Chains A and B, each alone.
Chain A
Amino acid sequence: KAGVTQTPRYLIKTRGQQVTLSCSPISGHRSVSWYQQTPGQGLQFLFEYFSETQRNKGNFPGRFSGRQFSNSRSEMNVSTLELGDSALYLCASSLVSRAKTQYFGPGTRLLVL
């Protein structure tokens, strides 16, 4: 099976712009979670989607949003980018079973100038 894929892998934006990141889960996985990784804050949970519904949301401002499509692919959007949004954004998918195991994609590295 192909793993979790994320596009683009690298992105450079300027302050005030918006950005959309995409995540394709492992085939058959219906839960997709997003995490932000920065040197200062470490790994922080952004949100989780299951069956096109947001099930949980982390403590991030409303500029961060996401959605999930019927094929389980997910996108996250960050509007009005700030310098502090520079980070590695990781997507993870899981089968949603008792196993509760998330498998991660390679990440999208976002640099905001």
Chain B
Amino acid sequence: AQTVTQSQPEMSVQEAETVTLSCTYDTSESNYYLFWYKQPPSRQMILVIRQEAYKQQNATENRFSVNFQKAAKSFSLKISDSQLGDTAMYFCAFMLAGGSEKLVFGKGTKLTVNP
């Protein structure tokens, strides 16, 4: 069974600064997908970024980028130029490639951006 671990329950950062959220996962499979989702106080789950395991290049989406280390089974999220609207729970998630689409989530990191 696949597991996802987020070791930082809470983090805070000053507005305009950079913060990195950690995520490690465990799997014996080689084909999979990794995601970061954001859940603000509204509870709406929003996709932040996606990484395909067979791609060596790290994904980026504007101020969000990942550091994907397949051998170490690590998938950290870097948020640059943090904004107040980035305040949210951030969940790392894993999905096996293949038929079924089942996301396995970590416990989440609560990020607070301070003015």
Q: Give the B-binding residues of A (Cβ under 8 A).
A: 31, 33, 35, 42-43, 45, 48, 50, 55-56, 58, 88, 90, 92, 94, 96, 98-104, 106-107, 109
B interface bracket (residues with beta carbon within 8 Å of A): 20 to 34
Q: Contacts A42-B108, A100-B33: A106 and B103 contacting too (C-beta < 8 A)?
A: no
> A83 CA to B45 CA in the complex, in Å?
24
What 7 pairs across the A-B complex have the smallest Cβ distances? A104-B45, A56-B100, A43-B105, A55-B100, A100-B33, A45-B102, A42-B107
**Chain A positions within 8 Å of B105 at CB level:** 35, 42-43
* Interface residue ranges, B against A (CB under 8 Å): 33, 35, 37, 42-47, 50, 52, 91, 95, 97, 99-108
Contact (Cβ within 8 A) B101 A100 = yes
**B101 CB contacts on chain A under 8 angstroms:** 31, 33, 48, 50, 55-56, 94, 96, 100, 102
Closest to B97 in A: A100
Chain B residues with Cβ under 8 A from A107's Cβ?
Answer: 43-45
Across-interface contacts of B106 in A (CB, < 8 A): 42
Q: Is the CB of B44 within 8 A of A104?
A: yes
Are A101 and B47 in touch, CB under 8 angstroms?
Answer: yes
- Kindly list chain B residues whose C-beta atoms are within 8 Å of the C-beta of A50: 101
Cα A56 to Cα B98 with chains together (Å)? 12
